[in-house]
A and B are shown apart, each in its own frame.
Chain A
């Protein structure tokens, strides 16, 4: 073969003159170079475009607000939620995302939303309030009552890769035709005719530019613009232009027009939200109008398309006049090209820009909570999936609770500093609120400046917890009803002992008094140290550690005597888990920040279902919780009883550490648990006890979200008896200082105190006699 070829060539070479050789060679070389160059571009185009998946940040949502008759909610709270969601107030709400309020009556046109458990359609809601409740809920369009409705959830964050591009993908089929018509009218009239580059528009642009003596028109087709955005830098060189043209041609070979148009709609840059770049018309529609694309009006399409030329220059928030001129120019073009009629153009031009004043898609307004979400996600997802797969993450955050918590921490700390003459900004605070039965985290504040991302005092700060530990000591004791009851007398007398570190230790009470003998009930209500240490030593420090573990404490614990007074470095999460278990009657639930995760196609990837584990007998926890209720009416947190009334039934415990370095309060109502910490980052003394620092923060929060009264669930195993405070024996009206206490049936003292009168000495029999 080779030989034959050679023999064929020879005559050719001989026939052709020598001088033509370089020309052919040059041509061949050029063809080869161009081909190689195109092949190279082709590889880039194919690899990047066909394999192209936009890095879609995960979007993080707050809980959706549920509306139903009987729900505790005020009109002010609903307004707050709607405003945060970017609903417009109008006289007659028709379009999704509009509402009206007249006194305690609302009309809301909801947006509809796809949740993890199905779609919530857009609805025309009538909502009525009375006395802090929703009293009526109806569908205006269908003129009927409805049982339950959900608003769309607030987006609270996006999780980005390092390049902070954000977008919400749209499909061409779902994009209103008017938008694409507007886009083509302005940017590329012959889009469906050309092959990637359009010599005619290039020529037109060149003529215009030469006439104007500068660049006034771009002759780039949509394909070229897309290629430029996708693959190329912004520099204006000939080489770049050539690359752009070559790639545009190649892209048209590989992809259909619709595919290119769809990519363009999702790629185009349309503005900036802090460090986040807003890409694509889907996200831009939300960013500027807080509406999906298919709910926009012609003038809104005109504004968005007009902005493509210079998103910052025509920013309707910063340069509204300039933006309006540009929009109206686009509307004129539409009329000129017959896309809309002249009347439609006039109507549209008469409309205001209609842009939301501030973008509602705050990039990350709640860094501390998001930190918790990310940590929970990290165990299930890779970092790159979080930042690129467009996951939708539905969290438990309640924006109403969160803003109440943020305000409670920052305002109260500032006030305490002012009232006590402390240096401004010397105090720090942290707060968490959870729903008791589900373990869902409703609010989380890790810094008095809640926007500050950084050290998360809820998740990472490790602090001694002071008297917050005490309920664990008392629960350990009350788990043995044959040995301890609420009426057991404890010695409150000087105590000297060897502490864990070998030094002598003589615990004292907060007021440095000794009371001789006190009721177990009173010792916890008033947080007496000495009887608590004695009780802890009596039941065994190891048993107390075991109780703390079962309650949910995960940090390291040492079974030293000083543990009974809170000498244990715990996180606020430890404390929260502990009190969550108490509040839930001995049932432990993992604290959850996430309800469900959906992929970009709305397929549920993961749900985090409710889980419970009974770790303590409900009746024994009941006894502890009853005492904790008394803390808030007659004990160290009695300010709460005064503020919310004894009927609120608030249960909780204060904690103060050595030299008043940490101020704690953990307390719960009928539906929520809140844990508050106040202290200094440098761990210096600040002079605040649990009652004077953390209790007011907790109290401000609960006042804002509303206290649901707490009635502890009782059982047949619980009986109530009157007890003489000084002896711990049974009492009746003859006893001056008596208290009614709960007991596990059969464990109460049988003997009567000497103060008891004979005729009333058996109240049960006496009552039975009455009934007979």
Chain B
């Protein structure tokens, strides 16, 4: 039994009411979790709009005619794989391994960029065949919902660059590891939203 594990065993014996204020890591995680939940409520509103408007095509292209399942499967694979590499990255941050941290962060970044470029190519194809957001209520709702998710992924990628720079300049300080923990939560939450997107928007289109 290592020293830390002994501390843990002792910590389990202390009743919750006698443990004092929660450590910063737990508090920061809780605050960020609240933000993520409010973000998910925004997505819920967009999902509700899409669910109500998905049939209102105004004579334009329908969902079944526009969406390609293979394309979506590749996008899903990218996002899922990047979620796992992000998890490996946060394990590397915890154990303070610089090389593997950079490696997993870079893989996460590349997978995120691949996802975004696939989405941008899909959007530009739709715009080129005249299925832009102004064509029908269905397409407005689609571009708002999927575009908001894409915007979040873009912000996540910017954050990831900042985290790489912080590891490079500040090293593995507790605050850097806390920030990376929050980034991981953000990235995994985007993946959860994407499950809703591919189920309701893309798979629901072909039913």
Are A and B interaction partners? no
Q: What residues of chain B have their CB less than 8 Å away from a CB belonging to chain A?
A: none
Interface residues in chain A, defined as those with a beta carbon under 8 Å from any beta carbon in chain B? none
